[in-house]
Amino acid sequence: MALLDIKNLSISFGGLRAVDDFHISIEKGALYGLIGPNGAGKTTVFNLLTGVYKPDEGHIILDGNNITGKKTIDINKAGIARTFQNIRLFKELSVLDNVMAGLHNQIKYPFLAGIFKLPSYRKGEAQLREKSMELLKVFELDSDADTLASNLPYGKQRKLEIARALATSPKLLLLDEPAAGMNPNETLELMDTIKFVKKEFDVTILLIEHDMKLVSGICEELTVLNFGRVLTSGKTQEVLQNPEVIKAYLGT
């Protein structure tokens, strides 16, 4: 059974069909790419997957559970986490506090324990801090733990956003143009990071990306969107050599 199974997903805005009959099936452990021209509907698909929008039609099944139309927080608890094309960190918080914010959905305190900072609360916070530091070490951000997120270099901000998403222990990680704004060396480092995350965290990854070098270098399979509809799906190299894809995506 696929980890993610989407059928007939559609949504319209003001009469315009932004996503039309979208379908995809992704096996557990896959590193899957979603590509297409600007305005093809890729980010809209991510917003449907994460509860930002509710679909007009269709179903989203995650690990056998129907999550269609659920609230974002419930979808996150079900096992989907994401990053954004425009980085969305808590920039007024430290690097450590950003990751701890991701972990807080995994622990619950009695009301009074939180208000009065009782021993159970302090113990829980210490455990969260330890787990957060372990995650930061994985991304070589532990030395920046006390730095404000807004003061990190761009490439490190990207890493921090991925680390924070992983703090929720997702089954499926959505990466929305993770290489956006990166120079070639940062992109190469990002490719290694994504491969490492897939292997070490046992997480399935679906990414949107325009950098074809990154896509061809790490994605095992692709789905191509054009005008909100699936143009084709399949193994990465076969898809990228498809004349229809070349015409739609590259405009040639």
Contact assessment for residue 158 and residue 178, using Cβ atoms and an 8 Å cutoff: yes
- Tell me how far apart the alpha carbons of residues 171 and 202 are, in angstroms, rounded to a whole number: 8
- Same domain assignment for residues 43 and 65: yes
Strand partners, 221: 32, 235
Q: Examine the fold and report which residue of 158, 182, 197 is the final residue of a domain before the chain moves on.
A: 158
Q: Rounded to the nearest 10 degrees, how much is the dihedral formed by the CA atoms of 218, 50, 2, 68? A: -160
Residue 84 covered by a domain: no
Contact assessment for residue 226 and residue 40, using Cβ atoms and an 8 Å cutoff: yes
Q: Examine the fold and report which residue of 104, 127, 158 is the final residue of a domain before the chain moves on.
A: 158
Comparing 56-60, 121-125, 152-156, which segment has the lowest mean pLDDT? 121-125
3-state class of 15 per DSSP? coil
The count of structural domains within the chain is 2
Exposed, middle or buried: residue 59 (CB in 10 Å: 0-12, 13-18, 19+)? Answer: middle
Average pLDDT, integer, range 219-248: 91
Residue 243 covered by a domain: yes
Q: Rounded to the nearest 10 degrees, how much is the dihedral formed by the CA atoms of 109, 113, 119, 120? A: -20
- Same domain assignment for residues 113 and 226: no
- Same domain assignment for residues 15 and 61: yes
Q: Is residue 84 scored above 80 in pLDDT?
A: yes
The pLDDT, as a whole number, for residue 244 is 83
Confidence of residue 56 (pLDDT cuts 50, 70, 90): very high
- Mean pLDDT score of the chain, rounded to an integer? 89
User: pLDDT tens-digit profile of 64-83?
Assistant: 999 999 999 999 999 999 99
pTM score: 0.90
DSSP code, position 110: -
Residue 214 covered by a domain: yes
- Domain range for 107: 92-158
Q: Examine the fold and report which residue of 136, 158, 180 is the final residue of a domain before the chain moves on.
A: 158
- Same domain assignment for residues 67 and 138: no
- Same domain assignment for residues 189 and 142: no
The pLDDT, as a whole number, for residue 232 is 94
Provide the CATH number for the domain around residue 20.
Answer: 3.40.50.300
- Same domain assignment for residues 186 and 74: yes
Residue 165 covered by a domain: no
- Same domain assignment for residues 153 and 44: no
